[in-house]
């Protein structure tokens, strides 16, 4: 749940005003992580444009936040104007925070968010050499389908239920309170 503090940070949905923090996180990905995340090498300006569309793409972005900075993110994107049966997911964890279980934790949030929106099929596009992402997908019993050198991981979330909807709503409320407390603490520390 987002009220848990993971490895010194908090996981919660990012607000529309946090688009620049999301961009800065993506910019901190090293060359190899950028390639794995976007399936090809991307420039800073590409990332800047991509991140600034965070609010336009009509999705959800979870962030892992430490001292006010986004250090990992999980995106759930609509494929079209409204939530349908298919959606796309992507995860990014900054190199110094990798291999601590964050990617798996974020994947669980994304699957639950998809499930709560009636998505039956989550498409995770990752390069065939991305063995870490495949290890995470396997945790969630993903079926991996190989297409032209890329791996498309399709995860079929279960139907939403009262608990999954309640858990997401509770997390959002707690995430809001934690964000306010965090901001207050950092403002006081800076004063």
Ligand X SMILES: CC(C)(COP(=O)(O)OP(=O)(O)OC[C@H]1O[C@@H](n2cnc3c(N)ncnc32)[C@H](O)[C@@H]1OP(=O)(O)O)[C@@H](O)C(=O)NCCC(=O)NCCS
Per the listing, tokens 């946090």 go with 18
Query: Least Å distance between CB 147 and ligand X?
Result: 15
Give the H or E element holding residue 181. helix 162-190
If the CB atoms of residues 93 and 178 are measured against ligand X, the closer one turns out to be 93
Query: Least Å distance between CB 96 and ligand X?
Result: 10
- Collapse the DSSP code of 22 into the 3-class scheme (helix H, G, I; strand E, B; otherwise coil) and give the result: helix
Structure-block tokens of residue 60: 């959800």
Query: Least Å distance between CB 115 and ligand X?
Result: 19
Positions in the binding site for ligand X (CB under 6 A):
33, 36-37, 90-93, 98-104, 124, 126, 130-133, 135-136
C-alpha span between 127 and 124 (Å, rounded): 10
Query: Least Å distance between CB 190 and ligand X?
Result: 30
Residue 3, φ and ψ in degrees, nearest 5: -80, -15
Contact present, 8 and 50 (Cβ < 8 Å): no
Q: Which residue is nearest to ligand X (CB)?
A: 103
If the CB atoms of residues 126 and 179 are measured against ligand X, the closer one turns out to be 126
Strands (DSSP E) contained in the chain are 5-6, 9-13, 60-66, 69-78, 86-93, 121-127, 143-147, 150-155
Query: Least Å distance between CB 54 and ligand X?
Result: 16
If the CB atoms of residues 100 and 176 are measured against ligand X, the closer one turns out to be 100
If the CB atoms of residues 114 and 124 are measured against ligand X, the closer one turns out to be 124
If the CB atoms of residues 116 and 130 are measured against ligand X, the closer one turns out to be 130
């Amino acid at each position: 749940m987002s009220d848990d503090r993971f490895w010194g940070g908090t996981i919660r949905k990012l607000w529309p005003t946090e688009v620049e923090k999301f961009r800065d996180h993506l910019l901190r990905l090293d060359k190899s992580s950028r390639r794995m995340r976007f399936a090809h090498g991307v420039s800073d300006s590409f990332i800047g444009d991509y991140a600034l569309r965070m609010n336009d793409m009509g999705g959800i972005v979870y962030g892992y936040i430490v001292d006010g900075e986004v250090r990992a993110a999980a995106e759930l994107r609509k494929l079209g104007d409204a939530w349908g049966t298919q959606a796309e997911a992507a995860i990014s964890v900054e190199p110094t925070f990798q291999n601590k279980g964050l990617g798996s934790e974020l994947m669980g949030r994304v699957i639950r968010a998809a499930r709560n929106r009636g998505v039956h099929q989550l498409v995770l596009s990752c390069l065939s050499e991305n063995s870490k992402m495949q290890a995470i997908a396997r945790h969630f019993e993903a079926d991996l389908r190989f297409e032209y050198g890329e791996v498309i991981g399709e995860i079929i979330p279960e139907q939403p239920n009262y608990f999954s909807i309640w858990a997401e709503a509770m997390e959002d409320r707690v995430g809001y309170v934690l964000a306010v407390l965090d901001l207050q603490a950092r403002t006081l520390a800076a004063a």
